[in-house]
Chain A
């Protein structure tokens, strides 16, 4: 129902709109408005928002105007509807009244005519039976009876009387015959009602006249008028004379009948002696007239009776007037009320041409209020108002939504600008930090190449690695931004988990040393030994992880590890067990998952302050550290853990942590790696040089001992754990094989320093091989190592944290095996780059000659054939297909045609050629190698902003290398591309 109504109103709305549009001069906006309306009614506002966003103000203005027009139009319309309906009702009422009035008038007239006709017939009867017969066949009694019995024929007459014409000469005879004298009407008293009052008031004898018209017959009700001379009454006389002349019925003016006090009219007919021709002159008629018949019409009662017959619910008031004299109409019937309102006049023809009569009709009740018209118009108005309101509400709602939308757009723009500013800032800062860091790294690199002893070399390596970590941290800051915008993709590269962990350990070596912390890595045996294909970001991630932990705890845990409170140790041990369990729990998946997918669980734990409970929920929020003050104490950006979390998410893993304040925290995360059995990388450490050696690890702390054992096992050395130094001798002595190495915690060593000479001598006595003794020193007491006595027994001291590479080096030195020279950590990707670039034709474009020369030199170094171009224009010319180049390196910032523009033009040319090729316009042969139609173009830039990178890719470049060239990056970009082309081939 409602829907229908709405639809209806909507139609009205639209129709009305059209109407208004037509009538008003807004037709040019009609289309807009209509379309608008359609959208409004049919669809939501969404489309509209976009389409009409541009002209909100205008639409608003227009709609307001339309609204006013709409309302005004409908008010007028409602008034018109009211007026129209009302007038129709009035018209209908008038018609009804007219028809009713006419009906009554016609009936009255008919009955009057019938009565008149009968009176005429009566006149003829009298003429026939009274005058033509001698003696007369009619006397008073017969006449009265006859008249009485035929009264029904004359419905309007109340009585009839007959008077004869008597000349004065015949008077006496006449009086004698009838036995009464002709009387005269009482003029003085009742001039108009002569016929009736003669009876009782001793009417006077009529004076002598030329002729008389005494009544001889009368109906019983009017017996008293017999013998009265009608010619003596003024009205009657006129009547009689008139009737005699015309030969037709003549009416008197209405006058009140005395007896009934009602208005009456007398009709008089003349009776002639003989038949007269129709064109007889009045004189002839007067001569032949012998009598007069009068009929009394009691109009009032008769009309009453008539109306009573016709009475119906629409009772009307009827007035009958004699309007012979139009100025003074004489009321014949009805009250003289002169109400307002509609009335109808019908003329009545009573057969007397002289007299005119009219019937006036009025409704008895006043016209009822035109409820229908009223309700219809008001209803229309209400609907129109409602529709207008809906329209208004919609418009204002739309305006509001649009305003909000605009505001939101504004805010969005601001936010985006802020974001851009942020990334710009980060990029700039990182760029500026990278520059001095290059110096640091370069120096370290050089230092590494100088002649250093093992320890120095290790320090330098550590410093170098730390520097690299810093650079990567800076990159991480960028990565965070990248991840935030979802732009980071993980690259799957092969890596060795153990090596990675070692590297991480060495990264924090310096820090650990500084803080006096012990760091150890333990990897379960169940973790595959060989290299897995995982994600490069694991390294980064672990770094983050450890560094985050460090940042959180290092300060407060300064003494906890070295002092070893009981709670800490227990906790630590427990966690290690947990860790192992966790790893073993992954075993089934390790076996069962297809495609060599394995889940790894990595736990990083510490002892220290832990994370307060209230802060634990915020740990993964970016830029949020445990306490704001912490960052001031420890430095750090506070984004580490949030990056970790995101990275773990990218690696399809989960991260979580358990932390107890004042005990420590354990962060655990899982991730999925793909096992790559195809990638054969012989474990460098598991060389045969140490194979078969047996070592004894003396440590009173099982966790630490276990970590040491783990490292030794990685080198292929069999390790036996021993808690007590006093038992060492027994161990060595009772061991099945020879014990080649003894690794002793320095603390224990210092505690039991006196026992050692004894052991040594004992061993010597037993002719056993004297094992090499190695002290494992904590960073904190490393400074004191040389001061301790009994140094002569010790082969070397290794400062913790232990790392496989370092252990290997130390052992090599101690054992004297191996050539002591390790592979230089040189330009690792150099070889692959060589193979990648050998013989390739490469175009280098840079406007800076120095840069050009350097870039060319670098690429030549890798075996590429290099061609140089010093501006964009010549580059475009040279790259016009067909050409010989395999790749192009292009500077971005160049005068005239910059790198982007040049690339765009080159791509256009290529697209052109390709389309031509497709259509066969150019033969493939003429172009040489088809592949060159999409030459890879790499941008060279010093800019590290991500946006630039994106722009490069967007503008058709294939990659991007920083200036000056860095081998690894170059390699990465090139492999990506050349490998993919190989696949294509």
Chain B
């Protein structure tokens, strides 16, 4: 594929991500942090985020499935998830986490479960999108082009 086209697609895709609120400013900042000294910085962080989040989601579903829910634990997990999603700029995940924590505070198990589903959805969505983004990036790099920057 033509490099220019790929780049255009990449940019379009990125802006949709921002537009639809999957990502926020923080992701841009992450990208800014990537330079020659750490060329894979974003990928690295995002992969970390994926690992961390999947672990947390599993934990969460396990904790919430129990008869007596330990809301403190749930809250701690959600807090973690919120922190890491905020760090990579996964805005929608983070926003659901905010609601999630409110339900935790109210000890509302149903609400928590609903939020968990939502978080999971959002997480897989953003994961998909990011993976697509990285795939695109790799394609560009493979084609010998440079990844266009948004800032």
Instruction: Please list the residues of chain A having a beta carbon within 8 angstroms of any beta carbon in chain B.
Output: 432, 435, 438-439, 441-443, 445-446, 449, 827, 846-851, 853-855, 857-858, 860-861, 891, 893, 895, 942, 963-965
> Closest CB-CB distance, A461 to chain B, in whole Å?
15
Docked complex: B88-103 residues within 8 A CB-CB of A: 88-89, 91, 94-95, 98
- Does B150 touch A at the CB level, under 8 Å? yes
> Can you report 5 A-B residue pairs in the complex whose CB atoms are below 8 A from each other?
A848-B84, A853-B48, A855-B87, A858-B29, A942-B83
**With A435-B95, A445-B28: A857-B86 Cβ-Cβ less than 8 Å:** no
Interface centre among B28, B83, B85 (most CB of A within 10 A): B83
Residue of A nearest to B34 (CB): A857
Residue of A nearest to B151 (CB): A449
Q: Which of B24, B45, B52 contacts A442 (CB 8 A)?
A: B24
Docked complex: B1-60 residues within 8 A CB-CB of A: 15, 18-19, 21, 24-26, 28-30, 32-35, 37-38, 41, 44-45, 48-49, 52
- Does B135 touch A at the CB level, under 8 Å? no
Q: Establish whether residues A850 and B79, one from each chain, have CB atoms under 8 Å apart when the complex forms.
A: no
Q: Which of B21, B32, B82, B85 contacts A861 (CB 8 A)?
A: B32
Q: Give the docked Cα–Cα distance between A443 and B37 (Å).
A: 27
Residues of B within 8 A of A895 (CB): 76
Question: Shortest 9 CB-CB distances between A and B: which pairs?
Answer: A442-B25, A850-B84, A854-B87, A857-B33, A848-B83, A851-B87, A850-B49, A861-B33, A850-B87
> Closest CB-CB distance, A872 to chain B, in whole Å?
15
> Closest CB-CB distance, A945 to chain B, in whole Å?
15
Residue of B nearest to A853 (CB): B45
Residue of A nearest to B19 (CB): A443
> Closest CB-CB distance, B16 to chain A, in whole Å?
12
Q: Establish whether residues A854 and B28, one from each chain, have CB atoms under 8 Å apart when the complex forms.
A: no
Q: Give the docked Cα–Cα distance between A895 and B49 (Å).
A: 19
**Size of B's binding interface in residues, CB under 8 A:** 39
Q: Give the docked Cα–Cα distance between A442 and B22 (Å).
A: 13
Q: Give the docked Cα–Cα distance between A849 and B84 (Å).
A: 8
Residues of A within 8 A of B37 (CB): 860
- Does B80 touch A at the CB level, under 8 Å? yes
> Closest CB-CB distance, A463 to chain B, in whole Å?
15
Q: Establish whether residues A848 and B80, one from each chain, have CB atoms under 8 Å apart when the complex forms.
A: yes
Residues 140-151 of chain B, each 1 if its beta carbon lies under 8 Å from chain A, else 0? 000000000011
Q: Establish whether residues A850 and B52, one from each chain, have CB atoms under 8 Å apart when the complex forms.
A: yes
> Closest CB-CB distance, B83 to chain A, in whole Å?
4
**With A442-B28, A445-B28: A850-B151 Cβ-Cβ less than 8 Å:** no
Q: Give the docked Cα–Cα distance between A80 and B47 (Å).
A: 100
Q: Give the docked Cα–Cα distance between A435 and B24 (Å).
A: 9
Q: Which of B15, B25, B45 contacts A854 (CB 8 A)?
A: B45
Residue of A nearest to B18 (CB): A443
Q: Establish whether residues B76 and A854, one from each chain, have CB atoms under 8 Å apart when the complex forms.
A: no
Residues of A within 8 A of B18 (CB): 439, 442-443, 446
Instruction: Please list the residues of chain B having a beta carbon within 8 angstroms of any beta carbon in chain A.
Output: 15, 18-19, 21, 24-26, 28-30, 32-35, 37-38, 41, 44-45, 48-49, 52, 76, 79-80, 82-89, 91, 94-95, 98, 150-151
Residues of B within 8 A of A965 (CB): 29
Residues of B within 8 A of A942 (CB): 82-83, 86
Q: Establish whether residues A861 and B52, one from each chain, have CB atoms under 8 Å apart when the complex forms.
A: no
Residues of B within 8 A of A847 (CB): 80
Q: Establish whether residues B151 and A446, one from each chain, have CB atoms under 8 Å apart when the complex forms.
A: yes
Q: Establish whether residues B83 and A851, one from each chain, have CB atoms under 8 Å apart when the complex forms.
A: yes
Q: Establish whether residues A854 and B88, one from each chain, have CB atoms under 8 Å apart when the complex forms.
A: yes
Q: Establish whether residues A446 and B30, one from each chain, have CB atoms under 8 Å apart when the complex forms.
A: no
Residues of B within 8 A of A446 (CB): 15, 18, 28, 150-151
> Closest CB-CB distance, B73 to chain A, in whole Å?
10
Q: Give the docked Cα–Cα distance between A225 and B53 (Å).
A: 159
Q: Give the docked Cα–Cα distance between A909 and B12 (Å).
A: 54
Q: Establish whether residues A850 and B45, one from each chain, have CB atoms under 8 Å apart when the complex forms.
A: yes
Interface centre among A432, A446, A850, A857 (most CB of B within 10 A): A850
Residues of A within 8 A of B79 (CB): 893
Q: Which of A432, A849, A855, A857 contacts B52 (CB 8 A)?
A: A849
Q: Establish whether residues B150 and A964, one from each chain, have CB atoms under 8 Å apart when the complex forms.
A: no
Q: Establish whether residues B33 and A858, one from each chain, have CB atoms under 8 Å apart when the complex forms.
A: yes
Interface centre among A857, A963, A964 (most CB of B within 10 A): A857
> Closest CB-CB distance, B14 to chain A, in whole Å?
9
> Closest CB-CB distance, A668 to chain B, in whole Å?
39
Residues of A within 8 A of B44 (CB): 853
Residue of B nearest to A441 (CB): B25
Residues of A within 8 A of B82 (CB): 942
Q: Establish whether residues B28 and A964, one from each chain, have CB atoms under 8 Å apart when the complex forms.
A: no
Q: Establish whether residues B151 and A963, one from each chain, have CB atoms under 8 Å apart when the complex forms.
A: no
Q: Establish whether residues A854 and B30, one from each chain, have CB atoms under 8 Å apart when the complex forms.
A: yes
Q: Give the docked Cα–Cα distance between A978 and B49 (Å).
A: 33
Residues of B within 8 A of A848 (CB): 52, 80, 83-84, 87
Q: Give the docked Cα–Cα distance between A849 and B41 (Å).
A: 14
Residues of A within 8 A of B34 (CB): 857
Q: Establish whether residues B76 and A850, one from each chain, have CB atoms under 8 Å apart when the complex forms.
A: no
Q: Establish whether residues A439 and B87, one from each chain, have CB atoms under 8 Å apart when the complex forms.
A: no
Q: Establish whether residues B48 and A850, one from each chain, have CB atoms under 8 Å apart when the complex forms.
A: yes
Q: Establish whether residues B87 and A963, one from each chain, have CB atoms under 8 Å apart when the complex forms.
A: yes
Q: Give the docked Cα–Cα distance between A964 and B24 (Å).
A: 11
Q: Give the docked Cα–Cα distance between A438 and B29 (Å).
A: 12
> Closest CB-CB distance, A845 to chain B, in whole Å?
13
> Closest CB-CB distance, B37 to chain A, in whole Å?
7
